[in-house]
Structure 1
């Protein structure tokens, strides 16, 4: 990961927007959905409407259109998801990407030239819903970016190996009905080694696995510089 960090720092120094260019970065605000946030006490974030109401309040308070954050946050958001239960241990609760919470239908842009590694509609409650994974190369170093909770139309006419240039439209953010039953948002994650995964990759891990996953899934802000 150290080498990737150095390559990012050498090649990406300005902030990169991966959402609709019509939303300036000054309209972004940070969001904390960790269990340490006392403002969430008593709120059942597993209910999409309750989660959305809280996010809307943060956006309104900060006069913003996009709320973002979440890398390595310990969240209660997955406490009702059977698929997030670990094997012989507690539930997976550590978030491995950055989430961008905004309106369904918002355009998603490619941050850096790449090709389609794989895609899939992970249409199980609590999962990513429509998902696209791109493969990139920078100075001979390969890495991947994952885009989860997209709209179904984002997968239409998509092909493995298809090229996307920087700032090309990749798709749009999906609604609650198709995105795994969440308030609308984009899950953005960097993955170095995909191993045997295709169209999917864990976006949440158990506390005991933080070391492994944080090495393979570095902070997306190393690329985005938000």
Structure 2
């Protein structure tokens, strides 16, 4: 369990942030309040408590931020699963592990407060990343701090402190951190897609959300 929802019984909504979603042409994605109203309006209209989706999704929403457009080829392929829920929703560790690193990636469109845990999985290292947290979530942490399965490790943050996004958790798995600490690309370019997907397995192996 990552969030306090049961995806077998609680109602959730798969959100589409690709060019195939015509709603996005009418939403000012650069205005986080408008973007938030759109996301949570859809959840409310569908009676859902959480929005989900995004792994390996070719998204258009990253055009809102220069953070994803700093190179010749923009980054647009999402490498984790997003869980859209109200700020303050608790986040729990899916496995035993230790705190690998953490930091506040404080740029518009970035992760904001971020925690990376290190686990052992099938006798190999596995890392899990939690982005768009609240700033208090980073208090009291230290590198190497033990974490138990099901332990509360953080809360979903409000905007703008969460990187200026509608409240949600970015949950991502990595088998190799490529030397990063407190941060790791959550979005890659189309050219780099295959390389990053090889080291970023589908987080739904832990979430077990039907339909993803």
Q: What band does the TM-score fall into relative to the shorter chain? A: over 0.9
Match of 1:155 in 2: 138
- List alignment gaps of at least 5 residues for structure 2: none
In 1, Cα distance between equivalents of 2:116 and 2:93: 11
Offset at residue 86 of structure 1 (A): 4.8
Offset at residue 39 of structure 1 (A): 3.0
In 1, Cα distance between equivalents of 2:58 and 2:34: 18
In 2, Cα distance between equivalents of 1:109 and 1:46: 30
In 2, Cα distance between equivalents of 1:18 and 1:103: 14
Distance 1:28 1:107, change over 3 A: same
In 1, Cα distance between equivalents of 2:48 and 2:38: 13
Count of matched residue positions in the alignment of Structure 1 and Structure 2:
207
In 1, Cα distance between equivalents of 2:91 and 2:61: 23
Offset at residue 224 of structure 1 (A): 1.8
Q: Deviations over 1:158-208 (max 9, x none)?
A: 011111111100110111020111111100000110021000000011111
CA contact (8 A) 1:175 1:184 kept: yes
Are residue 221 (structure 1) and residue 204 (structure 2) matched?
Answer: yes
Are residue 72 (structure 1) and residue 37 (structure 2) matched?
Answer: no
User: 1:87 pairs with 61, 65, 71, which one?
Assistant: 71
Offset at residue 209 of structure 1 (A): 0.8
Q: Deviations over 1:71-106 (max 9, x none)?
A: 1112222213222125332x1111111111111011
CA contact (8 A) 1:45 1:76 kept: no
RMSD, matched Cα: 1.4
Secondary structure (helix, strand or coil) at the match of 2:63 reads: coil
In 1, Cα distance between equivalents of 2:189 and 2:122: 33
Are residue 137 (structure 1) and residue 120 (structure 2) matched?
Answer: yes
User: 1:210 pairs with 193, 196, 203, which one?
Assistant: 193
TM-score using structure 2 length: 0.92
Query: Is the deviation greater in 72-81 or in 178-187?
Result: 72-81
- List alignment gaps of at least 5 residues for structure 1: 1-16
Are residue 195 (structure 1) and residue 178 (structure 2) matched?
Answer: yes
Match of 2:27 in 1: 43
Are residue 63 (structure 1) and residue 43 (structure 2) matched?
Answer: no
Offset at residue 120 of structure 1 (A): 0.5
Secondary structure (helix, strand or coil) at the match of 2:191 reads: helix
TM-score using structure 1 length: 0.87
In 1, Cα distance between equivalents of 2:136 and 2:101: 16
In 2, Cα distance between equivalents of 1:104 and 1:181: 12
CA contact (8 A) 2:119 2:125 kept: yes
Offset at residue 47 of structure 1 (A): 2.2
